[in-house]
């Protein structure tokens, strides 16, 4: 993507929202924020909620380096004066809904955290109330953290053409993509009540499974899921909603986005196979969906915008309501994504998690702007705090596949010529302990990570999205 006059010098770029807060030379008096390896330099400032007995039960904060900066006491002390900030964690607050207020707050926070800024740093009484170390203080242990907004509505999309083609090829080798895929962003409404914060463990789900292929007349089985899987996704948090009956145009769609987070949309593949026809996912999905605790704002992501996925000339052009010059030019995000796994045995031996895959969000066929435009074109009213998930993110190579059902599958529809092997033929993943995995086992912990890198800018990250599979309840 062209830099349009910005090369890390701090000069504003109104077209892309790049300004002095993205200057890679900025340093903070919070020394850990200056570590090149941190996910949380002063150029990021993602939001989260922190639970601590030393403060209000849940305090709104930004993460910088290895500390939280609590925003309410900062506001109450008058250091965020005039920015229109009331109750920050309320989804209906102007801070969430209005990008200009969010941008002004970001600039003020950067100003307060700069290495040569004394206003907060030298106010020892205030900084003691505002700054909390992530790993706790005075032996209290690490603080609990959650996303700053609890979604009341959840929509899951299917926006990766590589994922859709891989999975479709397992079951329909001659017709992997259904006719509608390249015309509309496919999605379904999920269950918001079972969205859980990173670090939450959950029990393996129980439900019905399809009759055995060898004896269809036997009837369905019932019991714990045997094909437990993860799905690597990016979540979009809605900032400004729209009135019922009033569609959001694609030109205006991004002004409705608060920020992005990581999502693991756990999937019980064997339950899903039996139940998804004709109405789609149900018990195979609604037992748990894990989201990361940090929302990386659209303002922080501005330097990492890229053109939307370039469709082959033979693909149909999206209808006009799904098309805009801005979406074509910068509808994508350059976000590197990783999935790591640690088995119970690995944890017992103090072995580090092993990386299973590495991909990038740039390969998504549909953009978030297109998802929002399509979601609302019939008049559906999105609300502040709603979660829209991208669907599993897979790339063109085997090591960039975003789910275990794809990683262990031996087929490759993107090979030349395509290698379409029946779905029953799989190569298990071998862990450093010698354990093998085709799907997840009890005690497995899945850790997802994401970060953005670009020459001339500081690397920023999303933290972790982590969850552990527990045995099914008997």
State the pLDDT at residue 86: 57
d(Cα 262, Cα 291) in Å, to the nearest integer? 6
Tokens of 415: 């090979």
d(Cα 87, Cα 22) in Å, to the nearest integer? 26
Percentage, residues of the chain above pLDDT 70: 91
Read off the pLDDT of each residue in 433-451 and give the average, rounded to a whole number. 98
- Residues with active-site annotation: 163
Q: How confident is the model at residue 90 (pLDDT cuts 50, 70, 90)?
A: low
Write the DSSP symbol of residue 63: E
Read off the pLDDT of each residue in 80-109 and give the average, rounded to a whole number. 76
d(Cα 93, Cα 79) in Å, to the nearest integer? 18
DSSP conformation letters of 201-243: EEEPPEEEEPPPTT-GGG--EEEE-SSEE-BEEEEEEE-S---
Domain boundaries, the chain: 20-146, 154-470
Asked if 190 and 184 touch (Cβ cutoff 8 Å), the reply is no
State the pLDDT at residue 214: 85
- Residue 316: is it exposed, middle or buried by C-beta count within 10 angstroms (0-12/13-18/19+)? exposed
Write the DSSP symbol of residue 293: S
Residue 242 has pLDDT above 80, yes or no: yes
Backbone angles phi, psi at 362, to 5 degrees: -65, -15
Q: How confident is the model at residue 256 (pLDDT cuts 50, 70, 90)?
A: very high
Read off the pLDDT of each residue in 210-227 and give the average, rounded to a whole number. 92
In whole angstroms, what separates CA 404 from the centre of its chain?
18
State the pLDDT at residue 416: 85
Q: What is the pTM of this model?
A: 0.93
Residue 310 has pLDDT above 50, yes or no: yes
Asked if 437 and 345 touch (Cβ cutoff 8 Å), the reply is no
State the pLDDT at residue 84: 62
Residue 91 has pLDDT above 90, yes or no: no
CATH topology of domain 154-470: Fumarylacetoacetate hydrolase; domain 2 (3.90.850)
Read off the pLDDT of each residue in 350-379 and give the average, rounded to a whole number. 98
**Tens digits of per-residue pLDDT, 270-287?**
999 999 989 999 999 999
Read off the pLDDT of each residue in 188-206 and give the average, rounded to a whole number. 97
Q: Is 407 helix (H, G, I), strand (E, B) or coil?
A: helix
State the chain's mean pLDDT as an integer.
91
What CATH number is given for 20-146 in this structure?
2.30.30.230
Output 112 or 99, whichever has higher pLDDT.
112
Residue 262 has pLDDT above 50, yes or no: yes
Lowest mean pLDDT among 32-41, 205-214, 427-436: 205-214
In whole angstroms, how far apart are CA 253 and each of 158, 206, 317, 335, 416?
Answer: 19, 39, 19, 20, 37
Tokens of 81: 């004066």
In whole angstroms, how far apart are CA 410 and each of 122, 162, 404, 423?
Answer: 60, 15, 12, 8
d(Cα 138, Cα 135) in Å, to the nearest integer? 10
State the pLDDT at residue 102: 87
State the pLDDT at residue 2: 33
**Tens digits of per-residue pLDDT, 329-346?**
999 999 999 999 999 999
* Cβ-based neighbours of 339, under 8 Å, separated by 6 or more: 230, 232, 355, 356, 357, 402, 446, 447, 448
Asked if 50 and 145 touch (Cβ cutoff 8 Å), the reply is yes
């Amino acid at each position: 993507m062209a830099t349009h006059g910005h090369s890390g010098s701090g000069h504003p770029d109104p077209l892309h929202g790049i300004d002095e807060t993205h200057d890679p030379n900025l340093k903070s008096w919070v020394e850990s924020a200056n570590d090149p390896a941190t996910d949380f330099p002063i150029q990021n400032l993602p939001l989260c909620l922190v639970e601590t007995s030393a403060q209000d039960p849940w305090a709104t904060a930004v993460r910088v380096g290895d500390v939280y900066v609590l925003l309410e006491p900062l506001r109450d002390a008058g250091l965020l004066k005039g920015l229109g900030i009331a109750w920050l964690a309320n989804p209906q607050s102007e801070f969430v809904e209005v990008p200009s207020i969010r941008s002004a707050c970001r600039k003020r926070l950067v100003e307060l955290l700069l290495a040569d800024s004394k206003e907060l740093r030298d106010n020892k009484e205030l900084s003691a109330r505002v700054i909390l170390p992530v790993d706790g203080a005075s032996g209290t242990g690490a603080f609990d953290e959650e996303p700053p907004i609890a979604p009341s509505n959840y929509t899951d999309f299917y926006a990766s053409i590589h994922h859709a083609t891989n999975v479709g090829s397992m079951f329909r080798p001659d017709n992997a993509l259904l006719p509608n895929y390249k015309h509309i962003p496919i999605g379904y409404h999920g269950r918001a009540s079972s969205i859980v914060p990173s670090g939450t463990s959950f029990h393996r789900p129980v439900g019905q499974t399809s009759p055995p292929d060898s004896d269809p007349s036997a009837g369905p089985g019932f019991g714990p899921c045997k094909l437990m899987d993860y799905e690597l996704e990016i979540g979009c948090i809605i900032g400004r909603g729209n009135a019922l009956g009033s569609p959001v145009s694609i030109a205006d769609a991004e002004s409705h986005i608060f920020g992005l987070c990581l999502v693991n949309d756990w999937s019980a593949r064997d339950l899903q196979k039996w139940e998804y026809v004709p109405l789609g996912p149900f018990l195979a999905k609604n037992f748990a969906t894990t989201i990361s605790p940090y929302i990386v704002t659209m303002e922080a992501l501005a330097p990492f915008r890229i053109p939307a996925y370039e469709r082959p000339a033979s693909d149909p052009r999206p209808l006009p309501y799904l098309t805009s010059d801005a979406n074509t030019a910068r509808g994508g995000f350059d976000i590197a994504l990783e999935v790591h796994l640690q088995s119970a045995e690995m944890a017992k031996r103090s072995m580090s998690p092993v990386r299973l895959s590495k991909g990038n969000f740039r390969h998504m066929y549909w953009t978030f702007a297109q998802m929002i435009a399509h979601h609302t074109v019939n008049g559906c009213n999105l609300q502040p705090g709603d979660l829209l998930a991208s669907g599993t993110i897979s790339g063109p190579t085997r090591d960039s596949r975003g789910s275990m059902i794809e990683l262990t599958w031996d087929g490759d529809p993107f090979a030349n010529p395509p290698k379409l092997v029946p779905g029953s033929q799989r190569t298990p993943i071998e862990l450093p302990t010698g354990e093998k995995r085709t799907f997840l086992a009890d005690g497995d912990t899945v850790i997802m990570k994401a970060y953005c890198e670009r020459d001339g800018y500081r690397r920023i990250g999303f933290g972790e999205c982590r969850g552990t599979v527990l045995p099914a309840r008997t």
